[in-house]
Amino acid sequence: MTGGEPSDGGAARGDRVRYLPYRPGPDPLAPPFDTARALRGLGRRVFDGKRPHQALRDLLRQGVDGIPGTDELLRQVRERRGQAARRGGLDGVHRRARAELDRAVELELRALADDPSDDARVRESELASLPRDTAAALRHLLAGPYPWRSDEARETVARLLEEVRNDLVDARLGRSEAWRAHSPDPAGVAAMATALAALLEADARGEPVDLDRFMAEHGAFFPEFAGRPGTLDDVAEALARRAAAARAHASSLNPDRRAELEGLLGEAAREAGLAEALDRLADALLRRRPDLVREAFAEVDGPGDLGLAEAVDLIEELADLDELARALEGGPDGVDPAAAERLLGPGAAEAVGRLAEVEPRLRGAGLLTGGRSRPRLTPQAVRRLGEAALRGLATGRRGHRSGGHGLAQERGVGTAGTARPDAGDPGATVPWEPGSPAPLDAVATVRAAVVRRAADPQAPLLSPEDVRTAEAEERAAAAVCLLVDLSSSMVRGGLFGPAREAALALYTLVGARYPQDAVRVVGFDETARPLSAAELLEPAGPRVQGSNVQHALLLAREHFGRHPGRAPVAVLVTDGEPTAHLGRDGSPEFAWPPRPETAEKTEAELDALAAMGAAVTLIVPGGGGEAGALAQAVTGRGGQVIRTEDETLGVKVIDAYTSRRSGR
């Protein structure tokens, strides 16, 4: 991708266009962040019983709004790390150096073979007895020094020493062009390393340092600071990470290989005291940044022979990947986008940046409040989650429609998922039902047909499901009580979240479409208690055994008693038989298998509700055949039983409410 920029007056005059190099960054065509989708993802986890901070953490781990989460980024880190660890062995410098030395010895032996003198035989014997330790062999040859007969052999050894010396500089100071330009001058590198070590040591003692003077003498090693002020920390930062990687490389070798490496480097860098200067600088850097000390990487192995600088590059990359993984495990806030881009690419950096914006955006939209460690959902968030739940149930209901009960868009929730201002007006529409005396609503019918054909242009122009009728005047107000089992069996069955979401959707529907109705949600396990809309999003408490249906029905009866004259609507959601009841002292009594007394007290409450004209609708989620005795007790008193799969639980709850309150 390229970018054009007009010059000398702009493209309007036909001037030339200057093309700039592509720079990766955020996609300018990416859709804006969807706060509503993020809230829904957060809400699903809260419905399942997580605290808001746990739900937010899980949301960021799994991703939101098309953004890969930290779990996916961690997977990429581990994959990249595995590939890097198999790139090559850490002791390739030994094999390379030994191969070059063996080549020099072979060239020398060829030169000596044509010489019949005793001196030639002595030299052949000396070469044959060289130690296998490359550093020791070089030390022996250089100590004399050995009088080479072969010029090519002498040049091979000299080149070997220069390559190892340059590799050492690259390994300790980095592989930038600036360092490579100075590698042939060991005296200049040693002088810079000694001066920088002295600055760091003086600063550690609290003494003043003259960084300007250092940069005036050695600034060519640091071109990134040319023309701008820098601090001693700026200069030391990259070198400290490199020094830590070099130390980790050495500690990753077995003791014999480490000793051989130190000897080889010592022989190659003996000139101008380079080895001592680099060791002093490394010590000063790591004293300044002890947090960068790396563990050994003994698991690194591969078919390639890496040079010393390549091996240190690999160690530095592995250490950076480990550091990135630790940061990702703590959440996106602590991740350096630059590190993510360097190690995983621009897509990862963009993902980290967008994930870090999720919580601030939710707070900015007024959906989260409280401290960073303990965020809380605001009333606005609760309201919007209820609207989203109801909108989702409306979609699900259209896919499972078995009757003609109005919901969501047809009963007071607009297409954007918010309550219509005229939610309670007689002008609302409902799907047409055969035999309905209500007049047709032509505008609503055409609108429904257009929406349907937009999704499927090949569909018929008009379908019976498009037909809408004007809803008659509101029927009498109702008192509705939704009784939701929140016991441990519901949690184990994955029904806890869907049940709470259905309850919040009911609150939203009543507020939007039937504000004259008195609604109450009762949650029960070993005991029963009323739950407000906000309490439906409270963190789940400890799992409690027992389904005290009797206590829940008692609270429903009390609710109906406080609202005489309103049609009583009772909807009970439970996945099994009652296993608890209230004892004579009012405390709960749980037993498994259930005691006959539990069933007797539960049926007594059903009788009391029937006497008030309240027929119970029992919804058994999970698609199983539980609650057999309870189902018989409900149907024997004029109620009905609905068995449903988990994904249609909310739809069945809303249908049960709308059907009962309208007398269907």
| 35-88 pLDDT, tens digit each | 888 888 888 887 877 888 888 898 898 888 788 899 999 999 999 988 888 877
pLDDT average, residue stretch 339-360: 89
68 secondary structure, DSSP code = -
SS3 of 322-381: the string is HHHHHHHHCCHHHCCHHHHHHHHCHHHHHHHHHHHHHHHHHHHCCCEECCCCCCEECHHH
Residue 412's pLDDT band, with cuts at 50, 70 and 90, is very low
Does the pLDDT at position 607 exceed 80?
Answer: yes
What is the predicted pLDDT for the residue at 259?
Answer: 83
Tens-digit pLDDT profile for residues 214-261: 888 888 888 777 666 678 888 888 788 888 888 888 888 778 888 888
User: Does residue 218 contact residue 230 with C-beta atoms inside 8 Å?
Assistant: no
Q: Take residue 81 and report the two structure tokens written for it.
A: 């790390």
Residue 365's pLDDT band, with cuts at 50, 70 and 90, is confident
What is the predicted pLDDT for the residue at 298?
Answer: 64
User: Does residue 196 contact residue 235 with C-beta atoms inside 8 Å?
Assistant: yes
Residue 272's pLDDT band, with cuts at 50, 70 and 90, is low
Percent of the chain with pLDDT over 90: 12
Domains of the chain, CATH where assigned: 91-296 (no CATH), 383-419+475-661 (3.40.50.410), 429-470 (no CATH)
Q: Take residue 511 and report the two structure tokens written for it.
A: 């507020």
In this predicted structure, which of 16-30, 168-182, 407-421 has the lowest mean pLDDT?
A: 407-421
Computed over every residue of the chain, the mean pLDDT equals 79
Measure the CA–CA gap between 43 and 35, rounded to whole angstroms.
12
What is the predicted pLDDT for the residue at 331?
Answer: 87
Q: Are strands 588-590 and 478-485 parallel, antiparallel or unpaired?
A: unpaired
| Higher per-residue pLDDT: 130 or 252 | 130
Does the pLDDT at position 317 exceed 90?
Answer: no
Percent of the chain with pLDDT over 70: 81
66 secondary structure, DSSP code = T
Residue 575's pLDDT band, with cuts at 50, 70 and 90, is confident
Of 444, 449, 442, 451, the residue nearest 464 (C-alpha)? 449
Does the pLDDT at position 367 exceed 80?
Answer: yes
Tell me the three state secondary structure of residue 568: strand
Burial of 583 (0-12, 13-18, 19+ CB in 10 A): exposed
Residue 105's pLDDT band, with cuts at 50, 70 and 90, is very high
Does the pLDDT at position 554 exceed 90?
Answer: yes
Does the pLDDT at position 9 exceed 70?
Answer: no
Omega of the bond leading into 68 within 30 degrees of 0 (cis): no
Does the pLDDT at position 417 exceed 50?
Answer: no
What is the predicted pLDDT for the residue at 151?
Answer: 93
What are 524's strand-pairing partners?
485, 528
300-338 per-residue burial string, b: 16 or more CB within 10 A, e: under 16: bebeebbbbbbbbbbbbbbbbbebbbebbeebbeebebe
What is the predicted pLDDT for the residue at 4?
Answer: 44
| Higher per-residue pLDDT: 399 or 648 | 648
Q: Are strands 304-305 and 88-89 parallel, antiparallel or unpaired?
A: parallel
595 secondary structure, DSSP code = P
The total of other beta-carbon atoms located within 10 Å of residue 511's CB is 19
Tens-digit pLDDT profile for residues 371-384: 877 888 888 888 88
Measure the CA–CA gap between 388 and 39, rounded to whole angstroms.
9
